[in-house]
Amino acid sequence: MLRKEIINKEMGNQEITKKQENYDYLLFLGCLIPTSLPYMEIAARKSLEILNIKLKETNDFACCPDPVGIKAMDEITWLSLGARNLCVAQKIGLDILTLCNGCYETLKETSHILKEQKETLEKVNKILSSVNKEYKGNIIVKHIAEVLYKEVGTSKISSVVKKPLKNLKVSAFYGCHVVRPSEIMEFDDPENPKFLDELIEALGAESVPRMRKMLCCGAPLLGVNMELSLEMAKNNLDYIKASGADCIVTLCPFCQTQFDRNQAVIQRKFNLDYNLPALYYPELLCLALGVEPEKLGFNLHRVKVDPILEKIL
Amino acid sequence: MNDKVPDKLLKIDRSLAQKFIKTPGQNPYLCYQCNKCSCGCPAAHKMTLLPHQIMRAVQLGQMEMILDNDSIFYCSFCHTCLERCPQGIAVSEIISKLKGMVAKIKGMPSAYKDEFKMIAETGRTSPLTSAVRRRREQLGLPSLSETVGKGEAKKIIKKTEIISYIEK
Ligand code: SF4
Ligand code: SF4
């Protein structure tokens, strides 16, 4: 049996989202957003607040951890650290909302593996007993974009837009792990997803097509292979520039780091000039919902966002 | 048909492939060398051992070929190969496991060691500096505690065998 068939067979049982009376989700901040990219956090919080998604918070979460390095080095350690976070949600009694593609992949895949593979769950629980925890295998993990697209919905979002982002051409950058591996993430097509394009158009902006939409940003290689990492980001910037977009819209702090913080490095290295502002989708959403730009920390972006603000306000 | 099989061919070692075969979607023997994984790989031009060649090396148990060059560490784990393989093989996951095996023999890349150490110390992989605190305050974001997860991440890491490779 092929993997797809095996997994499809195993995915039969319907899941029920857990809710506490006053909250919809437990917020999983991750590491990179709250420390390096707080402007992403403020936009996520403000947009969800306006759309009436209520978040509970906790200090008990630790790093997701990283689905690339930590997982490769030792899968059982990766699963155990991830499962510890799931246990925190289990105790509070809420499902998890993540702001990052990496946290999303780690926690969703951990939850998937521990549900499907009883032997692995036993192994992990043995390790978790050292911190007095036991995972029972029933926490659902969502990405902020998934909640916006599947729960709030594009028609509701369009209906509350106060400032339609007319004349703005946007390049949608999904990132790999929000949709892949597709039989686990089950969000959208792994090669040609549409949800972010639709979320952008719901704000009145135009999502412009480009070559190699799902080419990796290269961020996972930053610590181990800087050169290739920057080359991958550069290839993406080339395609985005050629598409005629005014800006990039991301869903992940790692893609955001490549396109915002590292854009200047790439420009210098390859002697090129892109000047492409990169925004996290919730930032764009906040602007369309009428949040004042001064409250969103745009000054923290490395690539100036002013031309975009002038265009839409 | 009485040709003798050359000795070299007899050295196929199945124990490497056996390490993957039990995980759903990771049977290396299903690979028929169509090359699709390598064609879509954004790192293939930097690799001297391409994804489909890595798959063949695993089938034949040629761990030495994999140890001999650093191709697997060019993989960004984008899962394009996993999505495209007509045989449903999770090539990216096999490469990921190989990275762990190689790290346990040749030593862990320092970036990953640092990640483990930071998680053990603070619960996070990125530092909470005074500049970060100031920026958060200016934006009206809640203040973050110095460490997260009650030190439990450290206890977990210490419980697993990876600890000896981090400290090496
Ligand atoms: S795509 Fe699959 S079958 Fe084809 S060479 Fe790669 S691993 Fe083998
Ligand atoms: S996961 Fe790795 S091997 Fe597979 S296509 Fe991406 S970079 Fe290449």
Domain boundaries, chain B: 12-106, 108-168
Do A198 and A112 fall within a single domain? no
Residue where one domain finishes, among candidates A118, A144, A170: A144
Sheet with A55-56: strands ordered across: A55-56, A25-28, A96-98, A141-143
Do A136 and A172 fall within a single domain? no
pLDDT, averaged in runs of 10, over chain A (313 residues): 43 52 93 97 98 96 97 97 97 97 98 95 97 95 98 97 96 98 96 98 98 97 96 98 98 98 97 97 98 96 97 86
Assign domain B12-106 to its CATH architecture: Orthogonal Bundle (1.10)
How many domains would you assign to chain A?
2
Calculate the alpha carbon distances from A284 to A54, A169, A249, A313, B92 in Å.
20, 12, 8, 12, 33
Q: Is residue A151 assigned to a domain?
A: no
Q: Is residue A153 assigned to a domain?
A: no
Q: Is residue A46 assigned to a domain?
A: yes
Do A184 and A114 fall within a single domain? no
pLDDT of residue B168: 74
Residue where one domain finishes, among candidates A109, A144, A179: A144
Q: What is the CA radius of gyration of chain A?
A: 19
- Residue A10's domain spans which residues? 3-144
Do A244 and A304 fall within a single domain? yes
How far is ligand 1, taken at its centre, from the CA of residue B60, in Å?
15
Do A140 and A192 fall within a single domain? no
Q: Which of A72, A131, A216 sits opposite B100 (nearest CB)?
A: A72
Q: Is residue A157 assigned to a domain?
A: no
| B157 vs A contacts (CB less than 8 Å) | 77, 81
- Whole-angstrom distance, CA of residue A299 vs CA of residue A283: 13
- Whole-angstrom distance, CA of residue B92 vs CA of residue A190: 14
Do A129 and A190 fall within a single domain? no
Do A80 and A137 fall within a single domain? yes
Residue where one domain finishes, among candidates A85, A109, A144: A144
Residue nearest to atom 2 of ligand 2 (CA): B75
Do A166 and A130 fall within a single domain? no
pLDDT of residue A313: 77
Do A229 and A278 fall within a single domain? yes
- pLDDT under 50: residue ranges of chain B: 1
Dihedral angle, C-alpha A92, A25, A146, A290, nearest 10 °:
-160
Q: Is residue A221 within 8 Å of A229, Cβ to Cβ? A: yes
How far is ligand 1, taken at its centre, from the CA of residue B32, in Å?
6
pLDDT of residue B5: 55
Bridge-partner residues for A165, per DSSP?
Answer: none
Q: Which of A2, A215, A225 sits opposite B73 (nearest CB)?
A: A225
Q: Exposure of A122 by Cβ count < 10 A (0-12 exposed, 13-18 middle, 19+ buried)?
A: exposed
